[in-house]
Amino acid sequence: MAGGYRLGKKPEDVEVRFRRDLGLLEITMIGLGPTVGTTIFLLVGPGLALVGPALIIVFLLNFVVTLLTAMAYIELGSAFPETGGGYLWVKTAMKGPYGFIGGWISWFGHCIVGAFYTVSFGYFAVYFLKQPGGPMAGWDPGAQSLLIKAMSLIILVVFVAVNYRGARATGRSSFIITVVLLGIVLTYIFAGLVWFLQNPPAAANFTPLYQSAVPYPPFVVVLMAMGLTFIVFEGYEIIAQTGEESRNPEKDLPKAHFLTLGIATIIFIAVAFVTIAILGAGNPANLNPLSLAVAAQIAFRNPLLGLVVVTAGVLIGSLAALPSLIFSSSRVAFAMGRDGDMPRLFARLHPKYRTPKNAILASGLIIGLMIVTLDVIQIAASADLMFLILFTLVNGAVIVLRQTHPEVHRPWKMPLFPLLPIIGLGSKAVLSVALYLVEPLAWGIGLGWTVLGF
């Protein structure tokens, strides 16, 4: 049953089919690239600033919270592998405006995460080039900002073109870039562990476990940190968009989800561990998006080499994530166009490459507009909120669809149903509220986008 159960419009309404090019390895890489991507490099520092060494606990808790929704994606993705993922599940389960809201939020969420990765590329490239002795040393902030945006837009255009040519190109580019990214991250982890073993007093950096200057109860601050860093786990959601282009979605989609989350979580905890060991949490000046760059220059015998490794990690992480984000965002827009929730032109496929050409171009345009108008913190917080809302809706959808479509073959089912999806739904709602304490503007941007859809 490779095709799965078809949601949305009837097959005769809009006849569009993708090529089934993607196997387990390519699907896993499409998810692993953005999951391990730039976010872990940029958000460890701000996370440490909120909770100190308890960031490791935050990552473990986020893994549990993420797993609850990932299991919903596995059940729904293997049973309903049609392109559109969360949008189509919410649309079918809840009727009315909820399906449109789910798709509208999902599209924007993927686009805004894509903008985050793209801007991160330009941000760290310029940071490296402006170091003493570098070609941009002494440049004024205005010129640096302009170059960041220009570099980001160039990278965006390149990967829009990659997606335009087809899913196989996306899978291959994701595979190559993700392998390189993993090598860089493991190099940072290895150097950090060697430094830690050579400096036993650094073990004191892990006590006390909770360290924070935020004037809220510890459990509230932990929730704030979970909300802020939640986006580092987001990439697995993209796997659901590969259903119609997977050779064996019933088997490969569940495996790809578990592989992506398992590998990514181990990496996140290891990165947090070595960064805490090196920097501790006692110096606020070191706890920012550049924390890993500072830690690497301490861990490596050659500080410049450490800076090169982390900078390369951010750049490669951006390159690993961006193709997948453009891929996923365009597939949501395609599905909404196919079902009439957006103009039908979004459902048109390129006659040669069989890709949703208009949806890809529209997603690229939205990403480009956000690159130009928003800063990296606004982008990250808004992306957190969008996916927390989307995942809340998906946890509700898996409950409803189990009741309304019991006849559908489900190769994989969530255990302890409906307890786990209910916990998943509630946990996402709580983190959404906690995120307001971190960045209120994220709610303004999210609500503004939702209103724009109507």
Alpha-carbon distances of 197 from 201, 304, 307, rounded to whole Å: 9, 21, 21
Looking at the whole model, is its pTM more than 0.95? no
CA 188 to chain centre: 21
**Per-residue pLDDT, 11:** 40
pLDDT digits (tens, 9 = 90+) for 279-300: 999 888 889 888 999 999 999 9
- Which domain range does residue 156 map to? 27-327+364-453
Q: What's the structural domain count of the chain? A: 1
157 burial class (0-12, 13-18, 19+ CB within 10 angstroms)? Answer: exposed
Answer with the residue of higher pLDDT: 374 or 230. Answer: 230
| Whether pLDDT at 248 is above 90 | no
pLDDT digits (tens, 9 = 90+) for 311-324: 999 988 887 778 77
Question: Bridge partners of 246?
Answer: 22
38 inside domain: yes
- Taking the C-alpha atoms of residue 292 and residue 124, their distance in angstroms, rounded to an integer, is 12
Residues 6+ apart with CB under 8 A from 302: none
239 inside domain: yes
6 inside domain: no
**Per-residue pLDDT, 21:** 67
Other C-beta atoms closer than 10 Å to the C-beta of 150 total 12
CATH number of domain containing 130: 1.20.1740.10
Alpha-carbon distances of 81 from 249, 360, 417, rounded to whole Å: 7, 20, 21
359 inside domain: no
